Amino acid sequence: MEQFLQQIINGISLGSIYALVALGYTMVYGIIKLINFAHCDIYMIGAYVGYFCMTFLGIGFVPSLLAAMAVCTVLGVTIEKIAYKPLRNATRIAVLITAIGVSLFLEYGTMFFVKAQVRSYPPLTGLLAETLRLGNISVPMLQVLILAITVILMLLLQFIVNKTKIGKAMRAVSMDQDAAELMGINVDTTISFTFALGSALAGAAGILVGIYYNSINPLMGVLPGLKSFVAAVFGGIGIIPGAMIGGYIIGIVEVLISGYINSMYRDAFVFAILILILILKPAGLLGKNTREKV
């Protein structure tokens, strides 16, 4: 039982990271119906920004987190402006291929600058290095931190999307672009803002994964990116709470499979879940089963 709870706690940490990344996939898909393949690389860049801040600039975790989020925000918005905006009226496949191109560009561009080698985050010190004991279960403070930051960011996101004017504009544009424009909403600004939000969350996920697993490399985004995408589809692509729930479910499943079956199978299981959901409930857990018009 203790071991099981311990695994669940590990799953929640991993799930937090998937959820943060999944949110970006789902919001961008919701608003421009694009699977932004480059999103997982923004997460990787976030991890590197955190690494540089903490290793070379020697600044603490919180300022490094904010720096990673800021850099990723700028990067995400820039990518949208340069690569996707000119294709606003192009076919979906053209945009999709562009997104793959941007992804490769970021991966190998980063590799050019920082080399392909794996880098390690500095060891944690102070309170973050401590472990919380709850009976026989031990919870590293690091995991508490990951969960706390994720929950704060998600609450903030929910507030922005549901209560602010720009959030309402985001929802309006994702439901009906023309109608939103008729309300006087600037669609381009709203799309930029969506990329900014998603990228900031990916940046946060990047630095969190850096301090959690302690090792980063330029291709680190690929597999977690795919799994986060699975999480978004699982929850219902385009639906914000769906991405959150999907992220946690995928994270927990993955950890349980590694712990109880065999860690070799964990990725296979995640993708098996994707196939299952696509067969049983194509619109995802929280999605309405409407056929998509292509």
Please identify which residue in 171, 192, 256, 259 interacts with other proteins, judged by CB under 8 A.
171
Q: Can you tell me which of 89, 126, 135, 178 binds other proteins, judged by CB under 8 A?
A: 178
**Residue 131, H or E segment:** strand 131-134
Q: Which two tokens stand for residue 203?
A: 């940046």
Interaction mask 182-221, other proteins, x per CB under 8 A: xxxxx-----------------------------------
Residues in the chain: 294
Q: How far apart are CA 42 and CA 44, in angstroms?
A: 5
Nearer CB in complex with other proteins: 124/187: 187
Query: Which of 133, 165 has the CB closer to other proteins?
Result: 165
Phi first, then psi, for residue 217 (nearest 5°) are -155, 165
Shorter beta-carbon distance to other proteins: residue 133 or 163? 163
Residues 92-111 within binding reach of other proteins (CB under 8 A):
none
Is the separation of the CB atoms in 140 and 131 below 8 Å?
A: yes
Beta-ladder partners of 137: 134
Nearest approach, Cβ of 139 to other proteins (angstroms)? Answer: 38
Taking the least distance from each CB to other proteins, the nearer of 3 and 186 is 186
* Closest CB to other proteins among residues 179, 261: 179
Tell me the closest approach of the beta carbon of residue 170 to other proteins, in angstroms.
12
Q: How many CB atoms lie within 10 A of CB 5?
A: 14
CB nearer to other proteins: pick between 181 and 267: 181
Could you count the other beta carbons within 10 Å of the beta carbon of residue 166?
Answer: 14
Q: Which stretch binds other proteins (CB under 8 A): 6-14, 115-123, 174-182, 223-231?
A: 174-182
Which residue, 201, 188, 237, 286, is CA-closest to 29? 237
Q: Please list the alpha-helical segments (H only) found in 56-140.
A: 61-79, 92-114
Report the interface residues with other proteins, using CB under 8 A.
165, 168-169, 171-172, 175-176, 178-186
